[in-house]
């Protein structure tokens, strides 16, 4: 049924939630604005950075938004030395899937951030296309997914978006594709189901069996 599988990065392939939350909180402290609680910061993971700071710090002026975005980048890319890890089974599962499907990434990360993590994780060879939030409209807008489809010559009906947030599912629906959720990320499963997810996986390694069952 599907020929192209498109993956979110943070919360789907990479367990980076704790680092993202810490860097958002550090940016807020640096700019001397109200520091968001962990539960609040988690809700914006998956959005592009500028969209995330606007949602997390409503009512701030443009200078503050720009400052928060720059402070977050500095903490995430330079100052915070914590290393995020791939979720269990990611490498083995992508290895299996790459025999039968085209694979791609659509992420709220910046291009600079994704390039570094593709190299650090060793996952770069698996993906035929990648698209980031600083190259297109942020999720849930469908542009990132549409750009990948155009590059690879795929149709929406041939494409499955895999992610851990409602933004991933809404992007897939808006592009005319389907979405598959993972339950171990930042948004609760029902939120993804309500946003159009066909099903929920409790582990990334369950994906080949789910696809075979389709």
What does the alpha-carbon distance between residue 101 and residue 178 come to, in Å, rounded to a whole number?
15
What dihedral angle (degrees, nearest 10) is formed by the CA atoms of 18, 23, 29, 30?
Answer: 170
pTM: 0.93
Residue 144 has pLDDT above 90, yes or no: yes
Q: Which helix (H) or strand (E) holds 49?
A: helix 49-56
**Which residue from 107, 41, 105, 104 is spatially nearest to 75, judged by alpha carbons?**
41
What does the alpha-carbon distance between residue 125 and residue 65 come to, in Å, rounded to a whole number?
35
Q: What are phi and psi of 213, to 5 degrees?
A: -70, -20
pLDDT band at 82 (very low <50, low <70, confident <90, very high): confident
Q: How far is CA 198 from the centre of its chain?
A: 18
Handedness of CA 61, 114, 139, 42 (dihedral sign): negative
SS3 for 163?
Answer: strand
Both tokens assigned to 157: 């009906």
Over the stretch 148-201, which tens digit does the pLDDT of each residue have?
999 999 999 999 999 999 999 999 999 999 999 999 999 999 999 999 999 999
């Amino acid at each position: 049924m599907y020929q192209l599988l498109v993956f979110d990065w943070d919360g789907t392939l990479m367990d980076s939630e704790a680092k993202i939350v810490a860097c958002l909180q550090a940016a807020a402290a640096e700019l001397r604005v109200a520091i968001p609680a962990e539960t609040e910061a988690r809700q914006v993971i998956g959005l592009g950075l500028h969209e995330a700071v606007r949602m997390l710090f409503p009512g701030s002026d443009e200078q503050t938004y720009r400052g928060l975005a720059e402070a977050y980048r500095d903490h995430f890319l330079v100052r915070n030395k914590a290393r995020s890890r791939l979720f269990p089974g990611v490498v083995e599962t992508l290895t299996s899937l790459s025999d039968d499907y085209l694979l791609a990434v659509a992420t709220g990360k910046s291009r600079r951030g994704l390039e570094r993590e593709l190299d650090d994780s060793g996952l770069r060879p698996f993906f035929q296309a990648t698209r980031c939030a600083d190259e297109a409209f942020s999720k849930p807008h469908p542009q990132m997914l549409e750009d990948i489809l155009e590059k690879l010559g795929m149709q929406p009906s041939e494409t499955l978006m895999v992610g851990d947030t409602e933004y991933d599912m809404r992007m897939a629906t808006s592009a005319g594709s389907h979405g598959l959720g993972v339950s171990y990320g930042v948004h609760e499963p029902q939120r993804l189901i309500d946003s159009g997810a066909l099903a929920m996986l409790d582990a990334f390694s369950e994906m080949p069996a789910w696809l075979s069952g389709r």
